Structures are given as structure tokens and as C-alpha cells.
Amino acid sequence: MTHLVNSSQRSLGVTFPTENQANIVLWAPLAKHVAIKVYGNQAAIPLKKEDLGYWCLTTSQLKPGDLYTYILDGHQEYPDPTSLSQPQGVHGPSQAVDTGTFQWEDQCWVNPALDSYLLYELHTGTFTQEGTFQALESKLDYLKALGVNAIEIMPVAQFSDSRNWGYDGVYTYAVQSSYGGAAGLQHLINACHYKGIAVVLDVVYNHFGPEGNYVGEFGPYLTDKYCTPWGKAVNFDDAWCDGVRRYVIENALMWFRDFHIDALRLDAVHAIKDFSPKHILQELREEVDKLMAETGRRHYLIVESDLNDPRFINPLSENGYGMDAQWMDEFHHALRVSIGEEPLGYYADFEGIGDLAKAYQNAYVYDGQFSEVRHKLFGYRAETNPGQQFIVFSQNHDQIGNRKLGERSSQLYSYEAVKLMAGAVFVSPYIPLLFMGEEWGETDPFYYFVSHSEPELVEAVRKGRKEEFAAFHSDEEVPDPESDETYERAKLQWDLLEQESHQILLRYYQTLIALRQQLPALAHLERRQLDVRADEANETLILHRWHEDQHVLCLMNFSDQPQSISLPEAGEAGVPWRKLLDSADSTWQPQPQSETGPAPEAVSASETIQANPESIIIYAQHHEKSRFHVPDPISPRLYLS
């Protein structure tokens, strides 16, 4: 047999090419003997050893739904490292799954252009009280009414028990059984496409979780050549690395081909260590391109990277790795310091308004200067990369959950500041991302949580969390990540939508999203058609964006005092600027506010206006042709079931 990746079908693990036939391919290069034990059968069936460490079998004795394990060298019994289902948990037997039996109804679905994405990150287990894919489906109409056209699902690879962020997955191919398994995920994606919503799946290729991790029993999936925050690195360039590389690439292709996932978000690629002649990300890009050429479907590869290295997102033709986009933490850090976050930890490198202006203009804040946090010159300029290659946010799972008390922005900042930060994200020339519940000002924290069955591991996690925050002198205890209460507190409170202040904030987000999507000057992510001016003394920022003859002017006041802002000589001379939104307007206030008064409805260049504390005002020229309108308000009672 050949061992090249086949983009047209999955070849690793258990597959069912015909109704009564199972093909089995297992990579176990160091094993002397391999057999498969099918539950209900008396005798284990030996596999045949082939080239490059693969063991193979074609049999009629394994059918969809059957439980099975592998027996290595006559006595060691383990689940399948490429299992698609672990119904009895990470230590139990694997279950054979035929993903080809699902009846897809999305033949007419077209993945939107990446620059039109409006991302909504969510955690399946805490997005609803039920914590399942099925329950998530019941909220799709809500997300559609909000204006979301792409959801980003935190990792679903099988982890221990039912409480985990998802980054402790140990079965990269298996869908978490407590969420609904493979069939549940397929059903959810089919429903999303019917509603016009793309699906991004967060995947982890830089490490394996700690409990139920048996991959090392099958082969050298890990290497001690490099060290990561989670221990040994995944083996992408050491001895026997070819089997590991294939394992990762076939997994990515499976999500696209067999589950109709639209994009993958690759976790922490800076922790992927690979000095091969062809980096694993470059090889992945090439294989995904082949798949797209065969199917005619469009798929994106998005990375999380803190290296400020455009090589990750530069095209293959420019010796880059060809990733479509990356998360941009620096925009978040600059925005948070601008609003008043203490410059501690990784925020220590940021000075507020000036750095935020640079993030708007240049994407990376650090593009070659000295970083006090890293103690070195850091970053490289991203001069030619378009705006659609950067994803920005004011909140995400990491930036909330990795705080000691898991506080969301609504608990850290004023109501006005929350609106300002949201506006700052939506007027950027980048792809915006929301974190679940942000749009109504969710007040429950989003804690870090796990559920392990091994007492030593539980204690190690607790100790690690306490040590992580030891430098933060506080009387508050670190929430116990193993506690069921910690997990339950992280669930969204959908009933908050019945309260006026949360309804107003939701309507505000809905309006910002509509502005973003309907005005070409905001919807076109052209970094060159942008000008930004920061007044660090007064903590104000003016962002000017344009497309053809349409101009948008965004005035932001990050101070806690009213500030005078003089409009620049911008846009078309003699044409007045018309107000589209003022976050300080009474429309967006749950209670009457003491303010300088609303911004004028129309202003001219060089005119000076008074901006309310912690506010954003959006003016435009030639917006009439866009026929801007705000969708009907979301009725909370429709989504509280």
C-alpha cells in the first residue's frame, strides 16, 4: 500500500468503504504484533504489518457501532488513537463510526469570503444550560438576528469527563460524547449552513491532554527535543515524525471533508516546533488546497500565534506558510490598556492610545522594537498583509478565563467603556470576533475548569492555577477548576436578556454589526484606505476609513472626562458629516446620564465637538446609497427556552 495522504477520503483508523467491509489502518511503528479486539467477538484479529510502521486489515467482523480496542504485543490493550468516538470516556473502548451515512442538505452552501466573517466564539458546554450541540442549534436564530455569520467552536476533541475548555483533548479525531458526538456535530453544522452561518472549529495540534493520553503507547507522537508549556512537543521533525505529520493532516482534512467544517482555528502554533525542510503548516496548506480543488468547497486556516511573524500568514508563493488569518492579541492588549487596564504582566509592553493607533494602522504593535516583557527585539512588519488576515476582539476565552477570577469586561469596566471597546473592534479594518454573552454584558465569570478522575492530576492542576496567580496579592481564592460549581458559574445567563440594561447593550451590538456589514467603508478591510490620529494627552483617537466616495469618521474618547475633538480635514470637501451612532446617546443608556449632550447630527471638517467620557461617535459621508438600516430588535423571549 502507499502511505501518502489521500484528500478524497480518510484512510487512517477505521473506515467503511462498503456496507459490509471495514478497512483498518493503524500507525504503531515500534510494535511487534498488533491485533484488534471487537467486543462481542471471541478472538482478537491480527493486523498485517506494512511499510513505515503501519498495520492494516480489511474485515467484515467490525461494523458501525461496534466497540473495539487494539492489543499491542500480545497483552497491552488500548483505545484507538484515531478513534472517532469514545462513548465510555477516554479510558474506555473506541466505537466504530461511519461518518459517510449522514444525509447532508447543504449542497448549495457557499462559505462566505473571509473578509465578510463576523465571528462569535463559544464553548459548547457553557453556551447553554444543557451544554450540547442540539441545545446550541436552538440558539442559531438568535445568532442570525444578532448579525453573526460564523461561529467559532472551542475544541471538541474527546477529553476526560464532561467539563473542560477543550484544550485537554486526547482523541484528536473523536467528537466529545457529552456534547453529542460525531453525528451531533454533523447535524449542528448542517443546521448552521441552512441558517447561513459558517462554522470554525478550534483544533489543538501542539500538544495532547494529560488524562487518557495513550498515543505514546503506539508510537513516538511526542519528542523531548523541545519543551512546551504542556511538556514534550508533538513530534513534527524527529525520528518517525512522518506518521505524526500524516495524523495531523488527515485530521484537518477529515473536519473539512467529512464534517463540512468551513475553517479551522489552530491553537498556539508558536508551540509547534518543526525544523523540517517543509514546515507542517506549509504541508497542511498544500493538502487543503488539493482538497478544495477536488471538492470545489472553500476552507480557511486560521492560527493563534504570538510571534508577530508574517511568515505564518504570507502565501506559499512568498515562502510563507499560507495560513489565511491569525488572531491578533496585541490589538486586544492595546485596547485594554487604553481603557484603563493596569500595565501588568503582558500588558506591561503597552502604553494605550498610541499603541492602539499603531494596531489600527500596522496590525502588529511590536514589529522590531525592544519588548520589556520579552527582554528582546520582537516582531516583524506586516506591510503587505490585507486586513482580512487579522482577527481582533475586546474579549475571548483566554483573555477572560486566564484571569484569576475569570472576570468579563462587564465586571471590570463601566457600561460606557464596554460600548466603546465594542465600537473600537467593529470599526477596525480587521475581522471582528465576539465571545459568547459579550453582546448583552454577561455578568457571570468564565472560569478555567476541568474534570479529571486521577487525584494526582487534579491536585497538580489546582496547584498550577494557584502558583500562576501567586504574584497577584489578593485575598480572593483561585476558583477550584475541578469544582462542578466553577463549571456551572461559567454558563451563560440567557435570562439576563429580559433586563433593560442588557437589552439595550444587545441592541447596541446589533446596530454596530449592521453598520459594519452595510457600510462599504467599514466592510472593505483595506488597511491602506485608513488614517488614524491619536491624542495621547487627552486620550482620544480619530479613525478615518473610506471606500470609493464613502467616508467614515470614528471619534473615540477613552478618558473618563468630556474631551474636545477637532475633526480633521478629511473626506470630500464641502460635504457635511452625518452622525450614524453616538454611544453616549440616550438610546443606549439604561439610566439618564450626566453628559455634555449628544453629538451634533451634522458637522463639518475642522469643527470641534465635545465627546462624552468613554464614548465613540461615528460620522459618515455618502452613506445614503448604502441604505443603512438596523434589523428588527431581538425579542428575548424567543430565545430563552
Binding residues for substrate: 265-270, 329-333, 397-402
Alpha helices in 427-493 (DSSP H): 455-468, 484-489
Task: Report how far residue 555's alpha carbon sits from residue 202's, in angstroms, rounded to the nearest whole number.
Answer: 35
Q: Is residue 267 among the annotated active site residues? A: yes
Q: Are 461 and 450 in contact (CB under 8 A)?
A: yes
Task: Report how far residue 391's alpha carbon sits from residue 428's, in angstroms, rounded to the nearest whole number.
Answer: 10
Catalytic-role residue among 66, 152, 304, 539: 304
Q: Residue 94: which of 55, 67, 65 has the closest Cα? A: 67
Q: In 3-state terms, what secondary structure has residue 152?
A: strand
Task: Report how far residue 506's alpha carbon sits from residue 394's, in angstroms, rounded to the nearest whole number.
Answer: 16
Q: In 3-state terms, what secondary structure has residue 352?
A: coil
Report the first-to-last Cα separation within the chain, whole angstroms. 53
CB neighbours of residue 549 within 10 Å = 13
Q: Are 510 and 634 in contact (CB under 8 A)?
A: yes
- Non-local CB neighbours of 235 within 8 Å, separated by 6+ positions: 220, 221, 222, 223, 241, 244
Q: Are 160 and 209 in contact (CB under 8 A)?
A: yes
3-state DSSP: the chain helix, strand, coil percent, rounded to 5? 30, 20, 45
Catalytic-role residue among 66, 168, 202, 267: 267
Task: Report how far residue 613's alpha carbon sits from residue 563's, in angstroms, rounded to the nearest whole number.
Answer: 7
- Non-local CB neighbours of 312 within 8 Å, separated by 6+ positions: 269, 281, 303, 305, 320, 321, 323, 326
Q: Are 363 and 382 in contact (CB under 8 A)?
A: yes
Q: In 3-state terms, what secondary structure has residue 371?
A: strand
Rounded to 10 deg, the angle between the 241-259 and 280-295 helix axes is 30
Q: Is residue 549 among the annotated active site residues? A: no
- Non-local CB neighbours of 123 within 8 Å, separated by 6+ positions: 153, 154, 165, 166, 397, 436, 446, 490
Instruction: Report the residue count for the chain.
Output: 641
Task: Report how far residue 556's alpha carbon sits from residue 541's, in angstroms, rounded to the nearest whole number.
Answer: 5
Task: Report how far residue 505's alpha carbon sits from residue 173's, in angstroms, rounded to the nearest whole number.
Answer: 39
Instruction: For residue 597, give the H/E element and its range.
Output: none
Q: Residue 540: which of 614, 489, 605, 475 has the closest Cα? A: 614
Q: Binding-site residues, please?
A: 265-270, 329-333, 397-402
- For the chain, the C-alpha Rg in angstroms (whole number) is 26
Instruction: For residue 522, give the H/E element and its range.
Output: helix 520-523
Strand bridging mode 34-38 / 45-46: antiparallel
- CA geometry: angle at 632 spanning 627 and 634, to 5°? 145
Task: Report how far residue 557's alpha carbon sits from residue 559's, in angstroms, rounded to the nearest whole number.
Answer: 6
- DSSP letter assigned to residue 632: P
| Catalytically annotated residues | 267, 304
